[in-house]
Structure 1
Amino acid sequence: MLYIFSGLPGTGKSTLATALSRICNGCYLRVDTIEQTMKNAGISLEGPEGYAIAYALAEDNLRLGMNVIADTVNPIELTREAWRRAAENAKSAFREIEIVCTDLDEHKRRIETRKTSVKGLTLPTWKAVQNREYHPWTGDRIIIDTAGATPEQSIQQLCNELGLSADWYLTAT
């Protein structure tokens, strides 16, 4: 199964994607890690190179029978379709998941106070997040609104939507 995450920075996307990776023992692909590693190696990014690498890695791991969790902003239909195509090429099912934070004050606070585990990654400012290109969804997807919810509540909601049990994970954290 390919779990395709989508959402603006600071919505809780990486928190939920990493939790799901642990819950379903899946391969975790974070485009921020791919792109920053390329930059750290002196490779300049001209466009969607990081996404293209992530699509290829997803296909490889799906063909091996692994669950894959794609952690990306996934802002436009072109990227969303490319993820679907990666699953279809690997003859795998997929689920699309959009993470939102409808409380703008909370979202802003998260952006202004968060840290990253990706070495060298410069996190976007609140203004950059507000100005980021992000097209509205038109297709079917799971929507998780993290506003006013703890990470544990959001993980439980996501697992309920996916038909997975998060009990062992939530008691272990």
Structure 2
Amino acid sequence: MLIVMAGLPATGKSSVAEELGRALPAAVVAVDPVEAAMWRAGVDRGQPTGLAAYLVAEAVADGVLALGQSAIVDAVNAVEAARRQWRVLADRRGVPVAFIEVVCSDPLLHRRRLQGRSRGIAGFEEPTWEAVRRRRAEFEPWTDERLVLDSTADLATNVKKAQEYLRPA
């Protein structure tokens, strides 16, 4: 199965992805470390490294699925083109795809999380609150069925909800 996480930075999607990966088990393929690795390798930040990171993540997830294992993609997935990329991959591999969007309904909590986080990704600068607000404006409407988790709830509750959502698939 291909599980696609979506949501703004610092909403908690990576935390859900990691715990879900442990529980299922499934490989977690995160876009941010891939993009940071490109920068560390000398690829100019002015290049379309965001798009390239999604394509690298797709190649890695494809390899995981080819082995008959489940993969969880951890990325913002704000636009339809990104979501279509995952549907096409799942279709090509003949596996179900499930989308899980993580939101934080409390803007003050969301901002505190963003300002206080340090994920330890070498070469990756955490976005500013203003950058997150701009990303929110870029989110395209969803056409896919998805589970929406609110990270104001505790992580264990959200992981349990995700497992229940994925069980039929």
- TM-score (norm. length: structure 2): 0.91
1:112-143: per-residue Cα shift (whole Å, max 9, x none)? 11111311210001111001122232321111
Structure 1 position 136 matched with structure 2 position 136: no
Instruction: Select the residue among 56, 70, 74 that pairs with 1:71.
Output: 74
Q: Secondary structure at 1:143's aligned position in 2?
A: strand
Deviation at 1:161, TM superposition (A): 2.1
1:36-55 paired onto structure 2 within 5 Å: 36-44=36-44, 46-47=47-48, 48-55=51-58
Counterpart position of 1:161: 165
Give 1:37 deviation, angstroms.
Answer: 0.6
Kindly report the root-mean-square deviation, in angstroms, between the aligned alpha carbons of the 2 structures: 1.4
- The CA deviation at 1:2 is 0.4
| Gap runs ≥5 in structure 2 | none
Equivalent residue for 2:155, pick from 151, 155, 164: 151
Q: Does structure 2 conserve the Cα–Cα contact (< 8 Å) formed by 1:59 and 1:89?
A: no
The answer to whether the 8 Å contact 2:99/2:144 transfers is no
Shift of 1:152: 1.8
Q: Which amino acid aligns with 2:58?
A: Y
Q: Secondary structure at the match of 1:82?
A: helix
Residue 62 of structure 1: aligned partner: 65
CA distance in 1, matches of 2:25, 2:113: 27
Deviation at 1:69, TM superposition (A): 0.5
Structure 1: state its 5+ residue gaps: 165-173
Q: Measure the CA separation in 2 of the matches of 1:108 and 1:39.
A: 26
**What amino acid maps onto 1:152 in structure 2?**
A
Matched, 1:116 2:119: yes
Measure the CA separation in 2 of the matches of 1:90 and 1:74: 20
- Distance (whole Å) between structure 1 residues aligned to residue 22 and residue 9 of structure 2: 21
Give the SS at the match of 1:3. Answer: strand
Counterpart-to-counterpart distance in 1, 2:146 and 2:54: 20
- Amino acid of the residue matched to residue 88 of structure 1? D
> How many pairs were matched up?
163
Identity %: 36
